[in-house]
Structure 1
Amino acid sequence: MNCTDKGYFELTQCFEKYCVCVDPMTGHEADGTRTFSNRILPTCGPCFIKVAKDISSSGITDRLPICDSANGKYFAKQCHGSRCTCVDPETGNVEKRGGFELSCEHEEQTKIEFSIDSPVTGKKLEQIPLASPTCGLSKDRGHSCANGQPKTMWYYDTTVYQCLAFRYEGCGGNKNRFNSINECWNSCVFQDFGGCSGMKTPLKDSKGETVICRSKGNGNSQECPDGYKCNHLPFFSICCEQKNEDLFRENTSPKCGPNQTLPVTFHAAGITMNLLGKKCTDKFCPENTECKQLQIFAHCCPKP
């Protein structure tokens, strides 16, 4: 593992197949922060980020916040010497002060509710957050005009919660269109937002609460039952329906023709990605390729 010049672990560690956040003091891996490529950096917990910043700038360790090594958030009760405080686990903001007898039990209770850092619980479309209201606008191809040229752009699709390609005619339309998929992601998707594919509701228990699976340091975690798979998100993991995950995987990683050749790809953020749209009628495929429609997405294949 890589260390800083002051002898502490670097906050982000990258290996052959993935990157992950670790506790700067112990090197303990934060659960749910592994990425799917060593070219994608993870989102680390706020307490880990604070610790890494403090030891990098000053090297002083006697007043560092106390972090939950399982997820990188602040422990609700922070004590230094004989003084203790209750803090917000997400921000570290002090909520009340006292001595060793100070109780932060209320703040430590886990609330199963929706936020950008909590599992999706099947709420209505308008309750699923977007980084910008314009990303909720319907796809609009605009119209042809003398002063504009048709080109492939990206829009955010709130039926599948992905940035997809479409042909923009050159004029008109609305603001839900972007010159690159990176611009679409950065404009529409919160950094820690995630869930099952297509934001399908994850498995819930008998109390209607989202099942947390394989979460280190979480005594309430459990294995997913048959028909579900454990999907890792920032800070926790959830059980997603296997059939739905398989269907999305088939649609996002399609093959072309009987020889199962690769579809048309493009590069974004240092990653090779398949060029996907919602429908072939969106006319997003390049010249000398043909569009193929699957159940959820459309992709482009080289012409024979």
Structure 2
Amino acid sequence: MKPKAILGALALHFLVEQAASVKWSHCWRLKAVGNCKSKISAWYYDIWSLSCKGFTYSGCGGNANRFRSEEECQKACTFGSKVKKVCSLVPKPGNCTGFSPSWYYDAEVDVCRGFIYGGCYGNANRFTSCKACMKRCSGKRNANKICKKQTAAFRKRYNLGLEPKPKKSRWPFTLPIPFLKE
């Protein structure tokens, strides 16, 4: 490599490191719930999804990657992007007469809940499934378990019937083989 290229790369690396240590380093930290017993709604920046997600803070300990609101998190950690609240919006079922089972994120308890969307005048805190909602808005790792429970309760509450079972593949074990006789 040429000396100018090496010098340029080192200078760029130095500038990035300095910028990161001054303003953004707290955004790059992992979520830390702390070690007390309180349950406080908070937000952290998830570097893997490049978005702010909710979590329940314990009240003490933790780290600097903790914000009071989704908007505060976005302002601190989403660089050059326009701040757009999604998960912290109050769900709007709309005033139309449609019937669309949907999901919204409840930041107070860090889970997604079902509601019936009327088809118009809603907002961005509306998802087609519990899993999509949890993936976007919550930092919990056990989303599948939570969604299984929440979906069952939602379907029962709105009399939506049982969850359809996934179709099992019939191949290769259940197909009759004509040349083999029992």
Q: TM-score normalised to the size of structure 1?
A: 0.27
**Which protein has greater RCO, CA pairs closer than 8 Å, 6+ apart?**
2
Q: TM-score normalised to the size of structure 2?
A: 0.40
Higher strand share: 1
